[in-house]
Amino acid sequence: MSSAIETLRSEALSSLAAMADLAALDMWHVTVLGRKGSLTGLLGTVGTLPREERPAFGQAANALKRDLEAAYEARLSDLKAQALQDALQSARVDVTLPGVPTTSGRLHLSTQTLRDVYRVFGQMGFQVYRAREVETDEVNFQLLNIPPHHPARDMQDTLYTTTPNVILRTHTSPGQIHAMREYCPQPIRVILPGLVFRNEQVTVRSEFMFHQVEGLAVGRNLTIADLKGVFTEFARMMYGEDRRVRFRGSYFPFTEPSIEVDMDCMLCDGKGCRVCKHTGWLEIAGAGMVHPVVLQNGGYDPAVFSGFAFGMGVERPAMLKYGIDDIRYFFSNDIRFLEQF
Ligand code: FA5
C-alpha cells in the first residue's frame, strides 16, 4: 500500500511542477487535494486493508497530505510572484512622462465684459437689476411710448412667440418699467443687463442675439448734464483716460431729448475700417432723458421727477477693446476664439 502512496506522491509532485499558471494550479488543487481528488480517493481505501496495516498507512497518507499542501503553497507563491513580475514588465509606467493636461473652463468674453461694466457702474452707485427676457408687447413697446403700428417699431425687428402679445425682448428698456414700478416713489440708480433678440440680418457688426446694458436713474433735478457726465466717466474708466466720446442728437420714443453715444474706433485709431464702416466712430449706446409718458407709466410724477436712461451693446464695445473684427465669433462657439480671452 505504501507503494500507492509513493506513486501518488511522485505523480502529484511532478504534475505540480508542470502547472504553469494560477488557473492550472487551481485545477491541480481540485484534482489532487480536492474533496473528490486522488488523495481523498486513496484515503478511502484504508478500509480494505488488514487491520494491522491501517495505522501505518494512515500516518503515511497524512504525511503525504501535509507534503502536498506545503508543495502547493510553495508553488502558489512562486506563480503569484511570477504573475506580478509579468504584469510589471508588460505594463511599464514611465513616471517621468508629462501628464495629460486637463482643459479648464473660463468665462465667456461677454460675461467678462459685463462684469467690467458692473464694476465701473458699481463705483458710481448703480445696482444691478435683472429683468425678464421674454416680454409682453405692452412692456417692450407700448409702455415705452411705442404704440402698435408706430414706425419706431421698424428699428427693432421683433421675434414673436406663438402666444399672442408675448415676444422676445428687443432691448433692455422694458426693464425700466419693471424697476420703476418696483421702486416708485423712491429715487433709482440701476443698470439692467441681459440678452436681447432681434430678427436681424447677421453681419460682421450685427447679431440676432446680443447683450445690452440699460442704465436708469430717476430722481429730482436730474438733467442731461448728469447723463453726459456718467457716460463720459464710464467710457474713461472702462476704456482708458484718453478715450474720445461724442454725443449726437437722435430719436427714441421713450426719451426726450434723445442722444446717441459714439466712441472712437480703437481698431483703426479713428482712420476708418470695415468695423466702423469707415467713419472712425462706433456707436455704443442710445440714451436720453426719460420721456414724461414713460415716467408716468412707471408711477412717477413727471412734474416732480426726472430721469435719464441709456442702453448700450456689450459685444460691440468688446470688439473695440480686444480688436475683434467680426461679431459672429461671440456666439459661433468656436473654442479657438473663446480660449483667447
Ligand atoms: C436701443 O436698443 C435702445 N433701447 C437704447 C436706449 C435705451 C435708448 C435707453 C435710450 C434710452 P439701439 O437699437 O440703438 O437702441 O441699440 C443699443 C445698442 O445695442 C447699440 O448701440 C449697439 O451697441 C447694440 N446693438 C444694436 N443692435 C445690435 C446688433 N444687431 N448686434 C449687436 N449689437 C447691437
> What is the Cα–Cα distance from 198 to 156, expressed in whole angstroms?
6
> What is the Cα–Cα distance from 190 to 307, expressed in whole angstroms?
12
pLDDT attached to residue 47: 85
Closest atom of ligand 1 relative to the 172 alpha carbon? 4
If DSSP codes are grouped into helix, strand and coil, which group holds residue 47?
Answer: helix
Compute the distance from residue 204 Cα to the ligand 1 centre, in Å. Answer: 16
User: Ligand 1 pocket by C-beta < 6 Å: which residues?
Assistant: 155, 171, 173, 198, 200, 206-207, 210, 212, 214, 252, 255, 283-288, 309-313, 315-316, 327
If DSSP codes are grouped into helix, strand and coil, which group holds residue 37?
Answer: coil
| Segments of the chain with pLDDT less than 50 | 1
> What is the Cα–Cα distance from 214 to 211, expressed in whole angstroms?
10
pLDDT attached to residue 207: 95
Amino acid at site 86: D
**Nearest residue to 316 (alpha-carbon basis) of 308, 329, 327, 307:** 327
**Nearest residue to 205 (alpha-carbon basis) of 107, 108, 286, 278:** 278
pLDDT attached to residue 286: 95
pTM of the model: 0.72
> What is the Cα–Cα distance from 280 to 271, expressed in whole angstroms?
5
Compute the distance from residue 157 Cα to the ligand 1 centre, in Å. Answer: 12
Query: Do 71 and 16 contact (CB within 8 A), yes or no?
Result: yes
Compute the distance from residue 316 Cα to the ligand 1 centre, in Å. Answer: 10
Q: Angle CA(67)–CA(68)–CA(71) in degrees, nearest 5?
A: 85
Give CA 220 to chain center in angstroms: 43
Closest atom of ligand 1 relative to the 310 alpha carbon? 9
Give CA 132 to chain center in angstroms: 22
Give CA 23 to chain center in angstroms: 50
